[in-house]
Structure 1
Amino acid sequence: MEITRLTPAERRVWQAFPLGEGVDFRESADEDPATGAAWGPERTVRAAVLRVLLLNGPSRDGEIAGLKLWGARITGELNLKYGRVGHPVRLRSCYFEETPDLYGAQLRILALNDSVLPGLTAGHLHVDGVLRLTCCRITGPVRLAGAQVSGAVFANGSHFGDPAATEPPEEPVLQLNHADIGTDLWAPGLVAHGRIRLNGATVGGQITLDDARLSAPGGHALEAETLSVGTDVHAMRLCAHGRVDLRGARIGGQLNFAYAALANPGGVALRVSSCVAGEMWLREAKPVVGTVNLRRAQFDVLYVPPEVWPDEVKLDRLTYGSLLPHLPAEERLPVLERERAGYVSYSYEQLAGAYRTAGDEAAARTVQLAKLRRHRRTLPWYAKIWGHLQDATVGYGFRPMRAAGWLLALLLIGAVAFALHPPRPLKSDEAPDFNPFFYTLDLLMPIIGFGQEGAFAPRGWYQWLSYLLVITGWTLATTIATGITRSLARQ
């Protein structure tokens, strides 16, 4: 393109480029670029002119060239596909009539802050510095799949997708799947009307989605399967309508959903299955609407208040070292009743282990007792009878004092009954003096013998009482032995 064919606005940009100077077409700093379609020729620049500048623009000795433009209306397609650009590109508060095509391009810095675009095609883009999409409004898909950015990606305050659309678009509005970001993905306050895809992405630093609003009702609001993050994922006060999916993610530090509002009625609202992270926080989050799936996830610390859990959970093989806040076991156990798969032994064992780690042995025993009672529901009727008997007598070995109470009560009943109506001796000349206390104890304790049971023979209903005491004694002895065995096995 010959320089003589440039418009006055384009000539300003052409002359500023080799000096690295900026050209500001804005009438005021708070001007809204959404009105850019009405901007006249005095601030209109053809994308073809920018392409020539970036790929083969003039240079001047001793100066660092660069494209710095504010408030321009860019017409035509900015096509830098597979191009190598050695200059910083800053197109701020601009209005793009067509979607730029930067597929496979190599850039030093790309800044599109506050700009309005119909979309952005930049798959496998290489940026040696930072990529800035701060406060952009992009109605079409932002395609950054496979992009490599050595620095950070900034999308704070940006709006992706069409807010006027009645249904979420089929294509994700932000695509960073398999992208490689050297430092951070910084996107607090981001608004997305459609799916955000981060599958297989690698972020060397942290991801920040604080105060973000993601809307994809009935679909994926955030799809980040097998995501890898070097430090933390901060999503405090995140508001998500749709599934938040972090299956198989690897997060070096904290996964923080504090104060978040997650909702996907009739579906999975939060899926963190097979995820590995240092900590996961749902502190003071709103009650989740939809299913929570934490199967096979691993955390050192899990902070989830009981009221946050939804009516249906999937917790099979969820592993955690500490469960916060520390609450009585009675407040945690109802959550395990909501397991979609039914009775899951591992969930009870994990909860009991967390209480033991915290030094709360009483709560751990309560959880173990609840586990056995829950398991009892899955047994056939005859096994349920035996289970109820163990529960009533010794609490499956977790309440051993119950057996002592039963024995004491039976001992008192028998001693009083036989004191009032002593049984006749079998051999009056050989029988020892009758002692109602030790006679009853002889009947109850099948192992210990005091010589009373074999020397006397009760009659009538007292004989039936003696049979009852013998049977009860054997039963209590068996259940006590079972409970002691289970207790020793736990230790």
Structure 2
Amino acid sequence: MGRSRFLRRLTAAERRVWEAYPTGEPVDLRAGDRESDDPAGGDAWGPERTVRAEVLVALLLGAREREPGRAPGLRLSGAKIVGSLDLSGAQLDAKVHLLNCYLPGTVDISDSSTRSIRLRSCHVHRLRAARCRVEGLLDLDGTTVHRGVRLDNAHVVGQLRMSHTRLHPRRGESAPETRMVDAFAPYSAQEIADRGVEHDEWALWAGGLTVDGGAFLRRMHATAGVRLPGARFLGGLNMRGAVVEASRTPAVYGDNLEATHVEFSAGFTARGTVRLRGARVSGVLSFDLARLSDDVRSLHLSHMQVDELILTPESIEGEVNLSYSRVGVLLDRPGLYPDGVHLNGLVYESLRGGWKVAERIEWVSRDPGGYRPQPYEQLAAWYRRIGHEPDARRVLLARQRARRRTLRLPGRVWGRLLDGVVGYGYRPWLAAVWAAVLLATGTVVFTVLPPTQIDPDEARRFDAFVYTLDLLVPVTVFEQRGAWEPVGWTRWLANVLIVSGWILATALIAGATRVLRPSSNS
């Protein structure tokens, strides 16, 4: 009796859906005109295109018996579905395919288990799918969601498709805009999600999401952040050409994300930080031809592990943080980092991008936090590994010069002396140059103004070259110092030669120690 009353209340459009459901036949309520079929104007659609959400819920929950040998399914196009499509906690056997539909209420599949769900080119008030399991495809291609999508801890066994989707956050719907603090703007040490920002502030709230197939968010447009901490994309994450405009949150928040590959490329645009702290990417993470901007930090990629990082955006504004990450291959280009780059703790196997040594040295010196020894040592180790020992020495010399600027005055003076004499041990040939200059000077002077013999009874022949050399050697070898006494102003020259000999010897020993133990000054 109750079912009969329910059937009598069905409109013509609803009856068509009711009759088609057991066989999965499509029901098309579109007028055939592109403008009038645009779901953006679905509020004006009349009763001939209106279907109550409760009718669809009843069908999906088993109000109609199956037909033997046929697979039931909801395939509906061009409908205005009034009310909330509440399927939370349900076990659904039928596929759901809505095309060009207008849904002014909430679609809720939270905690449900279902087969493929396709909401293509629709206008949806809100989608709630937390903790759901989709045994197939979750397709939102071309759909506009006005009050946010929740996919936290959901599991999509097939693919997630959100290409050309437009997402807006829930904020402003009913709850006041709480937690709107200026401190969120820079996304500094304690980033947004750690400070309790609720899902109302995000266009896509999908922490803990698992997608076994590929996740395709190509050319998606979100007017608030995309939240993906702990998400797992076993078939990769593709956001080529997507646009994410965030004002209160990071544009992409993907701490501890796992993926086989990630594409933020081909025109991907982020207004706000892209944060992937602690992410694990077993393939390529690409920012090729992306447009990245933030007032403070455009990329936060610290503590990450990735096989290959392609960092060749079209434009970038804001700092880049690569601290404590492990990268197999890093492909970037000179002049990429306009506002500084954090490299302390970064380890890489290979560098690509056509950089000159001087450009790489400038790269490791641009840490906004000041001098850090590890980036220099890592760069020098890479040059050594590829057989460029002279380039490695240039990097380590630059490290000593950068460190010198952090010392007190005595240390800076001694450092300049070491640098000028032997290049901190990385240019030992400088000591030979200084020795040759001093030796030549002494030889000429003492040839013109020879010293007097201290013991005139001893038979000796004076040699200006040997005498000068004996003065330069810290420990007398040729026994010339004690045999001859400089005269006049040449006494000062002799003392300068003796002191210079000690300085050269000390600098050579100190420099050799630095070369043999390059991390001792870290």
TM interval, short-chain normalised: over 0.9
Structure 1 position 162, deviation (Å): 6.6
TM-score calculated relative to the size of structure 2: 0.90
Q: Is the 8 A contact 2:238 2:263 kept in 1?
A: yes
| SS of match in other structure, 1:308 | coil
1: CA distance, partners of 2:32 / 2:482: 110
Alignment match, 1:128? 135
1: CA distance, partners of 2:336 / 2:272: 17
Work out which of the residue numbers 331, 356, 359 in structure 2 matches 1:303.
Answer: 331
Cα pair distance change 1:468/1:347, threshold 3 Å? same
| SS of match in other structure, 1:323 | strand
Mind listing any 5+ residue stretches in structure 1 that lack a counterpart?
A: none
Structure 1 position 130, deviation (Å): 1.1
| CA displacement, residues 152-173 of structure 1 (integer Å, 9 cap, x when unaligned) | 10001111017999x9995211
Alignment match, 2:253? 223
Work out which of the residue numbers 48, 57, 77 in structure 1 matches 2:54.
Answer: 48
Work out which of the residue numbers 140, 153, 159 in structure 2 matches 1:152.
Answer: 159
Q: CA RMSD in A?
A: 1.9
1:469 and 2:497 are equivalent in the alignment = yes
| SS of match in other structure, 1:100 | strand
1:277 and 2:281 are equivalent in the alignment = no
Q: Is the 8 A contact 1:177 1:197 kept in 2?
A: yes
| SS of match in other structure, 1:99 | strand
Alignment match, 2:187? none
Cα pair distance change 1:170/1:50, threshold 3 Å? closer
1: CA distance, partners of 2:65 / 2:77: 20
Deviates more, 1:36-45 or 1:212-221: 212-221
Structure 1 position 228, deviation (Å): 1.2
**Runs of 4+ with deviation above 6 angstroms:** 162-165
| Identity between Structure 1 and Structure 2 (%) | 38
Alignment match, 2:38? 32
| SS of match in other structure, 2:289 | coil
1:173 and 2:234 are equivalent in the alignment = no
1:11 and 2:7 are equivalent in the alignment = no
Cα pair distance change 1:217/1:312, threshold 3 Å? farther
1:72 and 2:79 are equivalent in the alignment = yes
Mind listing any 5+ residue stretches in structure 2 that lack a counterpart?
A: 181-198
1: CA distance, partners of 2:65 / 2:19: 9
Structure 1 position 326, deviation (Å): 4.1
Q: Is the 8 A contact 2:148 2:200 kept in 1?
A: no
2: CA distance, partners of 1:251 / 1:374: 34
TM-score calculated relative to the size of structure 1: 0.95
Structure 1 position 244, deviation (Å): 0.7
2: CA distance, partners of 1:219 / 1:146: 20
Alignment match, 1:247? 277
| SS of match in other structure, 2:491 | helix
Q: Is the 8 A contact 1:128 1:149 kept in 2?
A: yes
| SS of match in other structure, 1:69 | strand
Structure 1 position 343, deviation (Å): 1.1
Alignment match, 1:290? 318
1:205 and 2:230 are equivalent in the alignment = no
2: CA distance, partners of 1:93 / 1:304: 43
Cα pair distance change 1:29/1:299, threshold 3 Å? farther
Structure 1 position 481, deviation (Å): 1.8
| CA displacement, residues 65-121 of structure 1 (integer Å, 9 cap, x when unaligned) | 111011111011111111111000001111001111211111111000111111111
| CA displacement, residues 123-169 of structure 1 (integer Å, 9 cap, x when unaligned) | 1111111100111111111011111111110001111017999x999
1:260 and 2:267 are equivalent in the alignment = no
Structure 1 position 309, deviation (Å): 1.1
Structure 1 position 234, deviation (Å): 0.9
Work out which of the residue numbers 469, 474, 477 in structure 2 matches 1:441.
Answer: 469
1: CA distance, partners of 2:382 / 2:245: 36
Alignment match, 2:184? none
Cα pair distance change 1:361/1:326, threshold 3 Å? farther
1:344 and 2:337 are equivalent in the alignment = no
Structure 1 position 335, deviation (Å): 2.5
Alignment match, 1:194? 224
1: CA distance, partners of 2:241 / 2:382: 32
Cα pair distance change 1:38/1:378, threshold 3 Å? same
Alignment match, 1:116? 123
Structure 1 position 372, deviation (Å): 0.5
Q: Is the 8 A contact 1:179 1:200 kept in 2?
A: yes
Q: Is the 8 A contact 2:284 2:308 kept in 1?
A: yes
1: CA distance, partners of 2:387 / 2:108: 60
1:325 and 2:353 are equivalent in the alignment = yes
1: CA distance, partners of 2:88 / 2:122: 20
2: CA distance, partners of 1:322 / 1:52: 59
1: CA distance, partners of 2:95 / 2:419: 74
Q: Is the 8 A contact 1:291 1:312 kept in 2?
A: yes
Alignment match, 1:21? 25
Structure 1 position 288, deviation (Å): 2.5
> Which AA in structure 2 matches 1:8?
A
Q: Is the 8 A contact 1:296 1:315 kept in 2?
A: yes
Q: Is the 8 A contact 2:201 2:248 kept in 1?
A: no
| SS of match in other structure, 1:264 | strand
Cα pair distance change 1:23/1:105, threshold 3 Å? same
| SS of match in other structure, 1:97 | strand
Q: Is the 8 A contact 1:185 1:206 kept in 2?
A: yes
Alignment match, 1:417? 445
2: CA distance, partners of 1:311 / 1:334: 13
Deviates more, 1:375-384 or 1:480-489: 480-489
Structure 1 position 328, deviation (Å): 2.0
> Which AA in structure 1 matches 2:286?
N
| CA displacement, residues 30-61 of structure 1 (integer Å, 9 cap, x when unaligned) | 44221111111111111011001111133211
1: CA distance, partners of 2:349 / 2:439: 46
| SS of match in other structure, 2:330 | strand
Work out which of the residue numbers 143, 165, 175 in structure 1 matches 2:150.
Answer: 143
Cα pair distance change 1:195/1:324, threshold 3 Å? same
| SS of match in other structure, 1:311 | coil
Q: Is the 8 A contact 1:287 1:309 kept in 2?
A: no
Q: What number of residue pairs does the alignment pair up?
A: 487
1:427 and 2:427 are equivalent in the alignment = no
